[in-house]
Every structure is written in structure tokens, then in C-alpha cells.
DNA sequence: TATTGTTATACTCTATAACTATA
DNA sequence: TATAGTTATAGAGTATAACAATA
């Protein structure tokens, strides 16, 4: 029963942060919170099958979907993780016999990552759970609402991508400006 | 220029996962991805001020906003972290002199967490950056779109809360059912 | 008995930089 | 020179279970 209301900023927000848009801050807060609770619920659904971290599951899902071994950096790009994190992740997957490193046939700097039968078995059991959880979570939204939702998220993501290519955003004024 | 298209499932999705709704899975994927890139961009904005983890920043923001010392479990509830994680987080904040533990005046099982002047100084510098980043990120959405976006997120979150109170979601059929 | 918080353990993930090998 | 990946280091977060103190 708790925590099901929209997150809203306090009444003094506009006065305290003159350059900021309350609706944008609220949208951001609700976005992050919703993503977190959804991820937690998905995690709860697949945890009983195997203790796989979100990154480990996502990597296996990418490999399973690709249907062929992939270079390490391709997976890293999809997961938005650094090459060092990818190395660590591959170590974990190999230790559990869920994936293997193969030499790249033509470029000896690269490696190919292949999913094992065990890895495929586990991810094939998890994917229906993940999809069922997502399906249940969006039960309350109509088809049109879902499409609109995706469009809004994509618009947001496009904007953030542009921002990420430049300097970090700075506030217009650090302190409340004196009335002119 | 990459990664700015909506995430969509493949053409074989409906056949492979009969019980799942493609639009729901797509909505979930786009939601999580958008939340991640936004968090990363916000992190990038405030990292130069102090190397504060998202949890540490959020805890300080809660304390700053409350204007008074709070019991540890109140902060843990807000951040959706366990009591053990909260202990670890408080250790970090105390080590950096950003927060302090105080004895609770009436209930000796509890502690009160107070923000230090240094903690307040840092969070007061970070908040305008966070708000400016959120404001810029949602620049492309109208007021109406933002309100609708928040409503959809809240509807989703309410549904997930209900799900989280029960058994984990299971798929209807593990394998493709034979045609009857 | 239930609640609050700590401790202990072990693992995962991250960031950064230096490094090797290869292209 | 640039790219792919590893290593080393350090830190932060997580989950879990056992535990002490208090209500």
C-alpha cells in the first residue's frame, strides 16, 4: 500500500531551484524508481533458477539471441559496460560454465564469446519468466499507452544521448539571483 | 547516433513466447535502458564535485530535505535498501564526515542519522546540477507529456507493488504447447 | 516475540590506469 | 597510432544469516 503514489517535489521547489522544471525532476524521479522496482521484481522471478546478476543474465540473453559467438566488445556495447567490467563478467560466466572464450579466427586481438549448453538452458528457462513478469507489470496500460510510453522513453533517451556527447549540464545560477 | 532508436523485440517473438506481450517487454526494456542512461548522465554531472555513489547522494538528499535527523530505517525505506546495506552506507558517509550517527532519544534500539555541514554543502551544490540535468533531459517533452509520463510510470509501479506482495510471476507455458 | 541495527562472509560490479598483443 | 582485451587496485554495493540489544 505504501509508495504507490507519484513522486512529487515539495511546494518550495520552484523558489529554491529557479532554473529547474518541477515536472522534469518529478518525471526523472518516477522513471528511476519505476525502473528499479520492475528490475527487482524481474530479479525475484528468475533468482530461484540461478543466482545470476542482471549483467550476467543480459549477457547470456544477448548471446542466446545472437545465435552465434560474439566479440567481447559487442556485448560490452550492448550492456553499456567498460571493457574491464566485461572481462570480470566473462570470468564469472566462465567460472560457472555458462559461457566460454574462443579465439577470434581472423583478428587475434579479439576473442569470441560463446554460450554453453548449460548457459542456454538457464537463459531459456529465465526468458519466459522475465517476459511474463513484464507482461504482468504492464497489464494496466493499453496498447496505445504502451506505444506512447515507448515513444516518450525514446525521445528522452535521444535527448540524453545528445547531452552525453557534450559537456555535463550546469545549472544557470548556483544561488538564488537577487531580484533585478 | 547509435542507440537512439526504440528497443524492439524480434519478429519471432510472438511465436517463441506465446503468453508474453511484445509491447510490454519492449516497454520494460526501454524503461530500464532510459533510466540507466539518465542516471549515468546525472552521475557524470555531479561526479566532479565529489565521488558520491547514487545511494550516498540519495541518502544525503533525503536528510537534507528532511531538515532533521532521521532514523536509519526511514532512510533505508526511502532508498529501498536492506538494513545491512544501510549500515554499510552509513559507515561510508561517516568515514567521509558527511553524516553522523546520534543516539535516538527515546528508543534505544534506534539511531538517528544527521547530515553534517560538509554533507549539506556538497548536496546543496549537487542538487542544482541534478535538477538542471533532469530539466534538460526532458526538454523534448511537453508539460502534458510529462504529466502523462508520470501517470503511466505510477500506474506501472502500482501494479508491480501488487505483484511484489504475492508469488513471483510464472509463465503460463514453459514450452510451446502442441496444437490441440 | 518483534524490531532495530550490527557483524561476518562472500560475491558482484564499478572505475581507473597501466599494460600486452595485435592491427 | 589505434584497438581489444587483461591485469591490478581499490572501493562500493548486495544478499544472507547470525547476532545483540531493546521494545
The CA distance from A128 to the nearest CA of chain B, in Å, is 6
Q: How high is the pLDDT of residue B17?
A: 92
- B128's CB contacts (< 8 A; 6+ apart) are A17, A19, A20, A171, A174
pLDDT at A174 over 90: no
A44 interfaces chain B, CB cutoff of 8 Å: yes
pLDDT single digits (tens) A117-144: 999 999 999 999 999 999 999 999 999 9
Q: How high is the pLDDT of residue B124?
A: 93
pLDDT single digits (tens) B48-83: 888 899 999 999 999 999 999 999 999 998 898 988
B158 interfaces chain A, CB cutoff of 8 Å: yes
Residue A58 sits at φ, ψ, to 5 deg, of -65, -40
Q: How high is the pLDDT of residue B173?
A: 62
Q: How high is the pLDDT of residue B1?
A: 41
Q: How high is the pLDDT of residue B51?
A: 86
CB contact under 8 A, B23 and A146: yes
Q: Tell if B55 CB is < 7 Å from nucleic strand C.
A: no
pLDDT at B166 over 60: yes
Pick the more confident residue, B29 or A2.
Answer: B29
User: Alpha carbon of A40 to those of B3, B6, B80, B147: distances in Å?
Assistant: 24, 23, 10, 25
Nearest CA among B83, B147, B30 for reference residue A23: B147
Q: How high is the pLDDT of residue A173?
A: 62
Element (H, E) at A157: helix A143-164
Which of B72-76, B99-103, B164-168 is predicted least confidently? B164-168
CB-closest option in A48, A132, A159 to B19:
A132
pLDDT single digits (tens) B132-154: 999 999 999 999 999 999 999 99
pLDDT single digits (tens) A8-24: 999 989 999 998 999 99
Distance CA A11, CA A8 (A): 9
Query: Grid coordinates representing A101?
Result: 572464450
Q: How high is the pLDDT of residue A48?
A: 87
pLDDT, mean over chain A: 90
Kindly state the DSSP code that residue A67 receives in the 8-state scheme: -
Region label for B122, one of left (φ > 0), alpha (ψ between -120 and 50) or beta (otherwise): alpha
Q: How high is the pLDDT of residue A166?
A: 87
Nearest CA among B175, B167, B58 for reference residue A41: B167
Distance CA B129, CA B44 (A): 10
pLDDT at B38 over 80: yes
Comparing every residue's Cα with the C1' atom of nucleotide C17, the nearest one is A84
Distance CA A133, CA A80 (A): 23
A14 interfaces chain B, CB cutoff of 8 Å: no
B14 interfaces chain A, CB cutoff of 8 Å: no
Counting residues of chain A whose pLDDT is more than 70, the rounded percentage is: 94
Q: How high is the pLDDT of residue A88?
A: 93
Cβ(A73)–Cβ(A86) below 8 Å: yes
Q: How high is the pLDDT of residue B3?
A: 57
Q: How high is the pLDDT of residue B13?
A: 93
Res. B6 pLDDT band, cuts 50 70 90: very high
Rg of the Cα trace of chain B?
21
Res. A101 pLDDT band, cuts 50 70 90: very high
pLDDT at A180 over 50: no
Distance CA B50, CA B2 (A): 30
pLDDT at B174 over 80: no
Mean pLDDT of B30-35: 94
CB contact under 8 A, B132 and A37: no
Distance CA B163, CA A132 (A): 12
pLDDT at B5 over 80: yes
pLDDT, mean over chain B: 90
Cβ(B27)–Cβ(A149) below 8 Å: yes
pLDDT single digits (tens) A20-42: 999 999 999 999 999 999 999 99
Amino acid at each position: 500500500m505504501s509508495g504507490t503514489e507519484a513522486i512529487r517535489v515539495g511546494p518550495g521547489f520552484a523558489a529554491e531551484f529557479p532554473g529547474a522544471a518541477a515536472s522534469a525532476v518529478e518525471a526523472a524521479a518516477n522513471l528511476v524508481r519505476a525502473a528499479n522496482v520492475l528490475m527487482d521484481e524481474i530479479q525475484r522471478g528468475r533468482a530461484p533458477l540461478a543466482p545470476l546478476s542482471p549483467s550476467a543474465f543480459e549477457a547470456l540473453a544477448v548471446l542466446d539471441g545472437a545465435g552465434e559467438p560474439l566479440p567481447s566488445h559487442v556485448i560490452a556495447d550492448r550492456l553499456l559496460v567498460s571493457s574491464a567490467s566485461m572481462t570480470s563478467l566473462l570470468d564469472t560466466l566462465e567460472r560457472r560454465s555458462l559461457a566460454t572464450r574462443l579465439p577470434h579466427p581472423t583478428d587475434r586481438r579479439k576473442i569470441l564469446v560463446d554460450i554453453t549448453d548449460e548457459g542456454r538452458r538457464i537463459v531459456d528457462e529465465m526468458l519466459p519468466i522475465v517476459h511474463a513478469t513484464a507482461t504482468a507489470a504492464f497489464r494496466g496500460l493499453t496498447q496505445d499507452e504502451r506505444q506512447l510510453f515507448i515513444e516518450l522513453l525514446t525521445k528522452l533517451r535521444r535527448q540524453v544521448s545528445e547531452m552525453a556527447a557534450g559537456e555535463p549540464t550546469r545549472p544557470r545560477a548556483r544561488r538564488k539571483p537577487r531580484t533585478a
